[in-house]
A and B are shown apart, each in its own frame.
Chain A
Amino acid sequence: MNAIKKAGNAANVFTRSWANFVIKFKWPVLLVTLILAIGLGSQGGMEFDGDYHVFFSKSNPELEAFDALQEKYTKDDNVIIVLSPLNGNIFTKENLTAIEELTAESWNTPYSSRVDAVTNFQHTSAVGDDLYVDDLSYETSLKTDAEILEIKEKALKEPLLVNRILNKEGSVTAINITVRLPGENLNEIPGEVTPFVRNMISDFKEKHPNFEVHTSGLIPMNTAFFESSMNDMGLTMIMLIIVIITTFILTRNIWSTLATLIIVIFSIMSAIGFVGLMGIKLTPPSSVFPTMILTLAVADSIHILVTMLQKMRKDGLNKIDALKEAIRLNFMPVFITSLTTVIGFLTMNFGDVPPFWDLGNITAFGMAMAFLYSTTTLPALMAVLPVKSKARKEATKAGKNWYVGLGNYVVEQPVRLTIISFLVIGGLTYLATKNTFNDEFVNYFDETVPFRTDTDYIRDNLTGIYNIEYSIGSGESGGINNPEYLKNLNAFEDWLNEQPEVIHVNAFSEVARRVNRSMHGDNESFYRVPDNRDEAAQYLLLYELSLPFGLDLNNQINVDKSETRVTVTVDNITSADMIAFSNKGETWLRNNTPEAMHAIGVSPTLMFSKLGFRQADSMFKGNIVALILISIVLMLALRNFKLGLLSIIPNVTPVLVGFGIWALYKAQINTGMVIVFGMTLGIIVDDTVHFMSKFLRARRELGYDAKQAVVYAFETVGKALVTTTIVLLAGFSVLSTSSFALNSYMARITVIIILAALIIDFILLPSLLILTSKKEAVAVEKVKEAQIAFDK
């Protein structure tokens, strides 16, 4: 015990001299920290990356598989422009002409490599020994009504168009622009492609007000990611105002508010410097870091300032003494909470989603800097600023009584409260298991985002947004013309079309059938794959010779003609169903085709579907590490192994409660929510530390019994806990308004968890402290000699 006592003393001496030093050298301290903040801030760079690839680590196997497929064929980032003429009929001369014009203009999209529309669809037909391959509708303005009618009939019969480019009724159509981005700078999409497409559409709308226009695709999704990062960055301003108001209400002092503002701004500047120095590109999850840092850093300042002002107002100390006392009392708690918060955020690195690594690292750095500024700049500033001590106020009395009242209520029925608490927690824990993962990326955006509503429109009126791709090999060069291969591919295509979730299938077997039919004078009975390899190869050669620029088969057939790509468009289904569907396809191939044709399903949709599961698996380890580390910090801080162990209960159960309540609210969890355990653990542990340390102090120094000690803890830290909880709730409530679900869901469940943590710390924790203290009441009594707690 002596060693610990010494350590305690040492810590006390250290904090005292720290306070003295900082106040004595207030001007140099101010100058140095100012230079540090500005120096770091000047290194800052805020670049946003909207590419969905950022969500996947380099070693992510789904990403590797998908990139391999794109390398083999073509890389297809796209913009889908969906056109709905108000008269409900695509096939009028005016409407088709407008579509043809927009299609031509779409070719001018920066980096575009291909444009698919109903008008430039390469229609194949045969007259005698002549093979015609041409745009379905070229120079539409010169066509007669009869010709337009013919075009309509052809289009609505075309399996490659219906449910992909055209709906069954012929009332909604799409122009699909494929874009091949060099990926050399971040400005390609937000600075070039998106502005071009938006301009083009607004010109089109002006010229053709009789069309409704919606846009979706991977490029608009990237733009939505990009813009939601910017929007979430904008939340920082709202949070800053909340910080000012909260600090002012809690301290009732303009100078304290100013000092707090400077501290949080320094912290954020430093974090921005970190972003620049590390070359981090901001993404929607990581762009919330300023709000996070604001929320968490402001608590440090408030603790110190409230104590200082209290000492001045109530105990009548002068400014400098009050300041020194505030530092001495708060240094260790602020250090401990900063440490646990940093640990909590750093565990995000265990996950498999890079934007969350960034969020964790930036926030951890910001928090470390916030601790530094709160213990240097803040006291130095307060020493400089003309803070005046005012008359004592009695207003707090009523509040304090309330906390004592709650304390008394709890200590009277610890057993009952424990049982009730465990029943509630148990019930909610059971409910928590009812949550399911769902990372449908369309649902990452709420209905305020046009990308979401447009995408929903497209799904409801034209085609699916989600897809799965299979690269099906033949095992030999040129083997895609092998009739055996074509028959199997055709069977796979048929099987896919039978599946209820499938909206459209694009397979090479369709091309083979179509060309075969044309080679036999458009005879429907030849709408089947050729049964002779040379025939198939030569037909394909002929067909390929007939296709125009940008509409070739390179996106469907590899260089060696040994593999083809099957693209399956599916309805909006949940992540779990998506994975199940992809597996079903893989299994079908294994059971029905030769080995060379076995393939795995890949696509961005599938990558996102698996992201939550992958993140959960990898974060599991991180969460255990966080729990162990934070518990060890607590044991050391409290200098009590048993209470350290006990603290696990109030630290873990809020998360269970949070997910239990979530099951009643949404029941769907996404990748953003996987990180909350480690993150909130670092934050809510604050409550436990404060409560337990006051409890211990009452037992050790004041010789109170467990019940008295609990009431004492309520009396001394009740208000402080409620205050920090309110600040945290405000911060995360601001984040929960984000239109981006990875952020808003994460923030919403954090609000629930932080609130649950406070309730558990006020009800269950004191009950447990009383129950576990009973047996050793005598033993504790003996160790009555005063120990210096780290936070008197």
Chain B
Amino acid sequence: MKKTIFVITALITLGIQAQTPEELGLEIAKAAEQADLGFNSSTVNLKMTLKNKNGQTSERSLTTKTLELHEDGDKSLIVFNSPKDVKGTSTLTFTHKVGSDDQWLFLPSIKRVKRISSNNKSGPFVGSEFAYEDLSSQEVEKYKYKFIEEKGSLVVVEQDPVDPKSGYTRRLVTYNKDKGYRFEKVEFYDRKNALLKTLVYSNYKIYKNKFWRAGTFVMKNHQSNKETILEFSDYDFNVNLSDEDFTQVALKRIGG
């Protein structure tokens, strides 16, 4: 694995044009996936701040649990801690490398789990500037790739979503190849190929000497001038979660 990274890094730095930009892009995406392999599971607390054009804000707080899977996409569980009236509401998501993801929602008010049979993942996540597709697990199979440019340690790759229902025509992702291919910036282009949003990652920390996690995500919508800030805290990579923690039963238990 380390070897692969080395080879690709060498290829890029040496500027050998043996590959097409598409192949190179895919290699980089795979390298990024590789670099993040093996974290197994994690939990993190998340504060989401929504800001409109006038600077009025609104906050939500959530806890996210993630379970790494290799054969298929990751599983994740999000619990809302505030606002008060949605406290305990939680979502369980099985990302799939191919096809639509599965998603369930637990509603504590009626103590029921509802399956969301929607192909829609391009809409805003709880009124924020993040779409569900921006937050879900970044599986390599979900995009087509094209290498754009390299500037120092930064590599820019264009990613075209495979899903026709995506809200984007493409994203421009800036990777930092010296820091485990972590994301530095993502630019989102809407269906008419106009720049819609920019997501900037900052306050990176490295966990377990390997896994880079940004402490802050700032998503700026250029068309509406609205902004959403995600602040992550208390990353925990030692929780040892398993499949049993990502079931409908677990969903009910956690929410209730």
Q: Check B126–A107 contact: CB distance below 8 A.
A: no
B4 interface residue per 8 A CB criterion: no
User: Contact between B85 and A481 (Cβ–Cβ < 8 Å)?
Assistant: yes
What is the bound-complex CA distance between A560 and B50, given in angstroms?
8
**Cβ-defined contact, B127 with A561, below 8 A:** yes
- Of the candidates A129, A134, A551, the one whose C-beta lies within 8 Å of that of B112 is A129
Q: How far is the CA of A519 from the CA of B114 in the complex (A)?
A: 9
Of residues A477, A532, A545, which shows the largest number of chain B Cβ atoms within 10 Å of its Cβ? Answer: A545
Is A113 within 8 A of B224, CB to CB? yes
**CB within 8 A of A548: which of B58, B89, B108, B122?**
B122
Contact present for B109 and A131 (CB under 8 Å): no
Contact A541 B109 (CB under 8 A): no
Are B54's CB and A71's CB within 8 A?
yes
Contact A535–B110 (Cβ < 8 Å):
yes
Interface assignment of A534: CB less than 8 Å from any CB of chain B: yes
Bound together, the chains give a CA A71 to CA B225 distance in angstroms of 10
Q: Are A538 and B86 in contact (CB under 8 A)?
A: yes
Verify B120–A180 contact, CB threshold 8 A: no
Query: Do A534 and B85 have beta carbons less than 8 Å apart?
Result: yes
Asked if A542 and B123 make an inter-chain contact with CB atoms under 8 angstroms apart, the answer reads: no
Inside 8 A of B99's CB, which chain A residues have their CB? none
* Nearest chain A CB to B95 CB, angstrom units: 15
Q: Cβ of B105: which chain A residues have Cβ within 8 Å of it?
A: 541-542, 545
Give B222's nearest chain A residue, CB to CB: A182
Q: Given the complex, which residues of A lie within 8 Å of B132, measured CB to CB?
A: 545
B127 contacts A537, C-beta separation under 8 Å: no
CB contacts (< 8 Å) of A110 on chain B: these are 192, 194
A519 vs B115: C-alpha distance when bound (angstroms):
11
Whether the Cβ atoms of A131 and B115 lie closer than 8 Å is yes
Minimum CB–CB distance from A73 to chain B (whole Å) comes to: 9
Minimum CB–CB distance from B5 to chain A (whole Å) comes to 34
Known contacts A532-B109, A542-B114, A561-B58; is A109 also within 8 Å of B223 by CB?
no
What's the minimum C-beta distance from A88 to chain B, rounded to whole angstroms?
A: 32
Q: Given the known A-B contacts A108-B192, A545-B123, A549-B131, are A71 and B109 also in contact in the complex, defined by CB atoms under 8 Å?
A: no
Q: Which residues of A contact B117 (CB under 8 A)?
A: 127, 130-134
- Chain B 100-117 against A: per-residue CB contact (8 Å), 1 yes, 0 no? 000101011110111111
Contact with B along A529-568 (1 / 0, CB 8 A): 0001111111101101111111111100111110000000
Report if A140 contacts B (CB, 8 A): no
Q: Which of B53, B127, B226 neighbours the largest number of chain A CB atoms within 10 Å of its CB?
A: B127
Chain A: residues with Cβ within 8 Å of the partner, total of 50
Query: What is the bound-complex CA distance between A542 and B86, given in angstroms?
Result: 10
Q: Is B57 engaged at the interface, CB distance under 8 Å to the other chain?
A: yes
Give Cα A553–Cα B125 distance, bound, in whole angstroms: 11
Question: A residues 57-97 with Cβ under 8 Å of B?
Answer: 71-72, 74
In the complex the two chains form, is B191's CB within 8 Å of A107's CB? yes
Q: Which chain A residue shows the least CB distance to B85?
A: A537
State whether the Cβ of B56 lies closer than 8 Å to any Cβ in chain A.
yes
Q: Is B91 an interface residue (CB 8 A)?
A: yes
Within 8 A of A (CB), among B149-206: 165-167, 190-192, 194
- Taking a contact as CB atoms closer than 8 A, the residue among A107, A129, A552 that contacts B114 in the complex is A129
Residues of A within 8 A of B116 (CB): 130-131, 133, 542, 545-546
Q: Would you call B124 an interface residue if the criterion is a C-beta within 8 Å of the partner chain's C-beta atoms?
A: yes
- Which of B107, B121, B123 has the most chain A CB within a 10 Å cutoff? B123
- Rounded to whole Å, the gap between the CB of B77 and the closest CB of chain A is 14
User: Which residues of B are found within 8 Å of A122, using beta-carbon distances?
Assistant: 120
Bound CA–CA A537/B84 (angstroms): 9
A559 touches B58 (CB 8 A): yes
B52 partner residues in chain A, CB cutoff 8 A: 71-72, 558-559
Question: Is B118's beta carbon under 8 Å from chain A?
Answer: yes
Q: Which residues of B contact A107 (CB under 8 A)?
A: 191-192
Cross-chain contact of A547 among B109, B120, B166 (Cβ < 8 A) = B120
A544 touches B123 (CB 8 A): yes
Asked whether, in the complex, the Cβ of A112 is within 8 Å of the Cβ of B85, the reply is no
Q: Which residues does chain A contribute within 8 Å of B121, judged by CB atoms?
A: 548
A264 to B158, CA, bound (A): 60
In the complex the two chains form, is B85's CB within 8 Å of A544's CB?
A: no
Distance in angstroms between the alpha carbons of A7 and B174 in the assembled complex: 82
Contact of A559 among B57, B83, B190 (CB under 8 A): B57
Assess whether B119 is interfacial by the CB under 8 Å rule.
yes
The answer on a CB contact under 8 Å between B192 and A549 is no
> Is the pair A548, B165 in contact by a Cβ cutoff of 8 Å?
yes
Cα(A539)–Cα(B65), bound, Å = 23
A560-B224 in contact (CB<8A):
no
Instruction: Judge if B80 is at the interface, Cβ distance under 8 Å.
Output: yes
Nearest neighbor of A538 in chain B, beta-carbon distance:
B107
Residues of chain B contacted by A560 (CB below 8 angstroms): 56, 58
Given known A129-B115, A180-B224, contact A557–B192 (CB-CB < 8 A): no
Select A131's contact among B83, B86, B114, B223, beta carbons within 8 Å.
B114
Q: How far is it, in angstroms, between the C-alpha of A559 and the C-alpha of B91 when the chains are bound?
A: 21
Query: How far is B226's CA from A110's CA once the two chains are assembled, in angstroms?
Result: 19
B120 to A548, Cβ gap below 8 A? yes
Query: Is there an interface contact between A537 and B110, defined as CB atoms closer than 8 Å?
Result: no
Which residue of B is nearest A107, CB measured? B191
- B167→A549 contact, CB < 8 A: yes
**In this assembly, does A478 line the interface, its C-beta being within 8 Å of a C-beta of chain B?**
yes
Residues of A close to B114: CB separation below 8 A? 129-131, 519, 542
- Least distance between A104 CB and chain B CB atoms (Å): 9
Q: How far is the CA of A108 from the CA of B85 in the complex (A)?
A: 38
- Name B58's contact: one of A109, A477, A535, A539 (CB within 8 Å): A477
Contacts of A519 in B (CB 8 A): 110, 114
**Minimum CB–CB distance for B181 against chain A, Å:** 27
B51-89 contacts to A, CB under 8 A, are 51-54, 56-58, 80, 83-86, 89
Find out whether the CB atom of B118 lies under 8 angstroms from the CB atom of A133.
Answer: yes
In the complex, the chain A residue whose C-beta lies closest to that of B128 is A559
A639 shortest CB reach to chain B, Å: 61
Q: Find residues 122-180 in chain A having any chain B CB closer than 8 Å to their own CB.
A: 122, 127, 129-134, 180
Give the contacting residue for A549; candidates B84, B123, B126; CB below 8 A: B123
Looking at the assembled complex, report how far the CB atom of B49 sits from the nearest CB atom of chain A, in whole angstroms.
10
The reply to whether B115 and A554 contact each other, CB–CB distance below 8 Å, is no
Known A-B contacts A132-B117, A133-B116, A538-B86; A545 and B126 likewise in contact (beta carbons under 8 Å): yes
Contact among B53, B107, B127 for A71, CB-based, below 8 A: B53
Residues from chain A with Cβ under 8 Å of B122 in the complex: 548-550
Query: A551 near B123 (CB under 8 angstroms)?
Result: yes
Interface-centre pick from B85, B112, B191 (highest chain A CB count, 10 A): B85
User: With a CB–CB cut-off of 8 A, which chain A residues contact B115?
Assistant: 129-131
Give every chain A residue within 8 A of B167 (Cβ-Cβ).
548-550
Can you name the residue of chain B whose Cβ is closest to the Cβ of A557? Answer: B127
Which residue in chain A gives the minimum CB-CB distance to B125?
A: A545
Chain A residues within 8 Å of B84, by CB: 478
CA distance A748 to B200 in the complex (A): 60
In-complex Cβ contact of B89 among A477, A541, A554 (8 A):
A541
What distance in Å separates the Cβ of A197 from its nearest Cβ neighbour in chain B? 13
Residues of A within 8 A of B123 (CB): 544-552
Pick the residue among A72, A182, A481, A542 that contacts B107 (CB under 8 A). A542
In the assembled complex, how far is the CB of residue B214 from the closest CB belonging to chain A, in whole angstroms? 24
The CA of A542 and the CA of B131, in the complex, are separated in Å by 14
Closest to A562 in B: B58
Bound CA–CA A238/B221 (angstroms):
49
Interface pair A535/B224, CB less than 8 Å apart? no
Q: Which residues of A have CB within 8 Å of B112?
A: 129
Q: Are A544 and B126 closer than 8 Å at their CB atoms?
A: yes
CA distance A547 to B120 in the complex (A): 6
B192 near A559 with CB under 8 A, answer no
Question: Nearest A residue to B228 by beta-carbon distance?
Answer: A559
B109 partner residues in chain A, CB cutoff 8 A = 532, 534-535, 537-538
9 further interface pairs, Cβ-Cβ under 8 Å (given A131-B118, A561-B83):
A71-B53, A133-B118, A134-B120, A478-B85, A538-B86, A541-B86, A547-B120, A550-B123, A559-B58
For the complex of A and B, the 8 pairs showing the least CB-CB separation, nearest first, are A549-B167, A549-B122, A537-B85, A548-B120, A534-B109, A547-B123, A535-B109, A538-B107
8 pairs from A and B in contact (CB 8 Å cutoff): A133-B118, A134-B119, A538-B110, A544-B127, A546-B116, A549-B167, A552-B123, A554-B124
